[in-house]
Structure 1
Amino acid sequence: MTTAFDAVVLAGGAARRLGGVDKPGVRVGGRALLDRVLAACAGAGRTVVVGDPRPTVRPVRWTREQPAGTGPVAALDAGAGALRPRDPGSAGPGVDGTDAETGASSGAGASSGPSSGAGAGAGAGASAGAGAGTSAGAGPAAGAGVGAAAGGPAGARAGAGAARARAGAGAGAVGLPGAEAVLVLSADLPFLDEATVHRLLAALDAEPEAEAALLTDADGRDQPLVAVYRAGPLRRALDELRNAHDGLGNLPLRLLAAGLRVVRVPAGPDEASASFDCDTWEDIATARARIRDHGAVLDEWITAVKTELGLDLDVDTGVLLDLARDAAHGVARPAAPLTTFLVGYAAAKAAEDGTAPAEAVAEAARKAAALAQRWAAEQDEAG
């Protein structure tokens, strides 16, 4: 996959069906909905969140449509505007690392604020009004099906690794012109993951003439808030809508795709819930119950713990569970949590000496498991 991308996350809705609560901050599986979505787009070079600033698990750029609350198309326009690079002929800044930290503003009719990170408050930003650029020639919408990107757990892990690599590269290049593609997401998608994002980007790579890749749900419905758009056509389509409707306020997002050449990406069997959004308390209850399901709860818990502790480490839960079982059965039940704690501590020490963290965990677990098995063998001999 070659398409570099930025991300726009829409998080400024009124949440009327939730009684006006702070929906992006509602927790599912111990993590805020917004933080879950930010984890899914961790491979973005730059991430803009359209909404009111708040602490987040990783630094993002904040902006807001003006006036606030005028709908998803206006919000997307504000987010896309905040991604625009510095115009050499303009005194206004683009969005780069320095501007983001100082809260300097940019964007089309948007107010932009500073980056925020975990545990850090975010200040209000200043307003700006740079217009979006245009390009000619809108193509007709097309509904081509795509068999994109390798699926399965191995593909998902590979995709996540590549995404993290791009994130590292993007972090040092945020002052450069914007990426070729813009990933657009809603902030209330509890089951979205990096594998789904990767499939959308791969679909765009596979169809050079496509201007957008949209996820479709199990019923074949387009999901314009789980989509990736080529940056130029996205700005063009927004300008065309602005001109046709004398503004972008309160327009439905489906109008955006109608003016673009679209490739549709059916949700795979492991992605059936990727577009599930939390609009009501019933939706939130459903999401919380599903995350606690026996088949998913362990992975969800490990991810939540890693996020809470600030760890970027692929943990082989099978190895650790086997170790815990061997320690519990071969020594004593309390030996299981104590042993896994010591393995983690030993792995951290090894990582300080230059060993890759995942390899350090695997090696420490192997040694501890072998010890537990020897311990059990001696008990069998004594018996």
Structure 2
Amino acid sequence: MRNQTAGIVLAGGAARRMSGVDKPMLEVGGMPLLRRAISALRGVSPVIVVGPRRAGLPPVTWTREEPPGGGPVAGLAAGLALVPPGKDLVVVLAADLPGLRPSTVDKLVVALGAADGAVLVDADGKRQWLIGAWRTARLRAALPSSPGGVSMRKLLGGLSTVTVGEAPGESADVDTPADLERHAGRL
């Protein structure tokens, strides 16, 4: 299934709660968060990173959302524009998830079945819209003509989805300095 799958990593954003630091390049366990997301997509091609170019990472395809800072749906639209024909599935990940693993991607793709998408659900039962596997055609059809400022929940919530329970810590993200400190000691 991975040969039919593309990956999109959303690595833009202003990191306002982190004083504007380049959050995807923060290290947890000696590895930048963005590298963790790219590594989780092992065997998926292409891997498209939406955000400013960064050095020191594995080869990926880079693009920017329009407008820059337009939010995750604008980032998704920019990434989808570069997914080539024949890639029926796309895994969409945020770049600030220290608990991502290739097994995360595998279980999402396997769970997809006949649904439009498979989304990870955290321990509290909350859908993590920035950790999912989706049918490329359904995502493209759902995109609004002006994606800037549209929420992922609004965009994806109307599609048929299956939910996949997280392994402990798999959906944890780094939004604040306290999050970074908490996760730095775990991995």
Partner of 1:215: 120
Please give the secondary structure, in 1, of the residue aligned with 2:186: helix
Partner of 2:44: 44
The separation in 2 between residues aligned to 1:259 and 1:272, in whole angstroms, is 27
The separation in 2 between residues aligned to 1:2 and 1:275, in whole angstroms, is 21
Partner of 1:102: none
Residue correspondence of structure 1 range 67-78 to structure 2 within 5 A: 67-78=67-78
Structure 2: where are the runs of 5+ without partners? none
Residue 232 (1) aligns with residue 115 (2): no
Q: Which stretches of structure 1, 4 residues or more, deviate above 4 A after TM superposition?
A: none
Q: Structure with the greater relative contact order (CA < 8 A, sep ≥ 6): 1 or 2?
A: 2
RMSD: 1.3
Residue 12 (1) aligns with residue 28 (2): no
Conserved 8 A contact 1:184-1:228: yes
TM superposition score normalised by structure 2: 0.96
The separation in 1 between residues aligned to 2:60 and 2:2, in whole angstroms, is 23
Partner of 1:55: 55
* Aligned with residue 280 of structure 1, among 160, 165, 176: 176
Structure in which a larger fraction of residues adopt strand? 2
Conserved 8 A contact 2:29-2:185: no
* Aligned with residue 251 of structure 1, among 120, 144, 150: 150
Shift of 1:258: 2.0
Shift of 1:262: 0.7
Residue 191 (1) aligns with residue 109 (2): no
Closer, same or farther: CA 257–3 of 1 in aligned 2, 3 Å: farther
Please give the secondary structure, in 1, of the residue aligned with 2:14: coil
Letter in 2 for 1:266: G
The separation in 2 between residues aligned to 1:214 and 1:17, in whole angstroms, is 25
The separation in 2 between residues aligned to 1:275 and 1:2, in whole angstroms, is 21
Per-residue CA deviations over 1:19-39 (Å, capped at 9, x if unaligned) read: 001111111111111001111
The separation in 1 between residues aligned to 2:56 and 2:10, in whole angstroms, is 14
Residue correspondence of structure 1 range 323-334 to structure 2 within 5 A: none
Identity over aligned pairs, percent:
45
Please give the secondary structure, in 1, of the residue aligned with 2:78: helix
The separation in 2 between residues aligned to 1:68 and 1:57, in whole angstroms, is 21
Letter in 1 for 2:87: A
The separation in 2 between residues aligned to 1:66 and 1:237, in whole angstroms, is 17
Per-residue CA deviations over 1:240-274 (Å, capped at 9, x if unaligned) read: x33xxxx111111101222211111112xxx2211
Shift of 1:2: 7.1
The separation in 2 between residues aligned to 1:288 and 1:226, in whole angstroms, is 21
The separation in 1 between residues aligned to 2:64 and 2:42, in whole angstroms, is 21
Per-residue CA deviations over 1:76-125 (Å, capped at 9, x if unaligned) read: 10011122x3xxxxxxxxxxxxxxxxxxxxxxxxxxxxxxxxxxxxxxxx
The separation in 2 between residues aligned to 1:56 and 1:76, in whole angstroms, is 23
TM superposition score normalised by structure 1: 0.48
Conserved 8 A contact 1:11-1:34: yes
Structure 1: where are the runs of 5+ without partners? 86-176, 292-383
Structure in which a larger fraction of residues adopt helix? 1
Closer, same or farther: CA 26–233 of 1 in aligned 2, 3 Å: same
The separation in 2 between residues aligned to 1:10 and 1:50, in whole angstroms, is 5
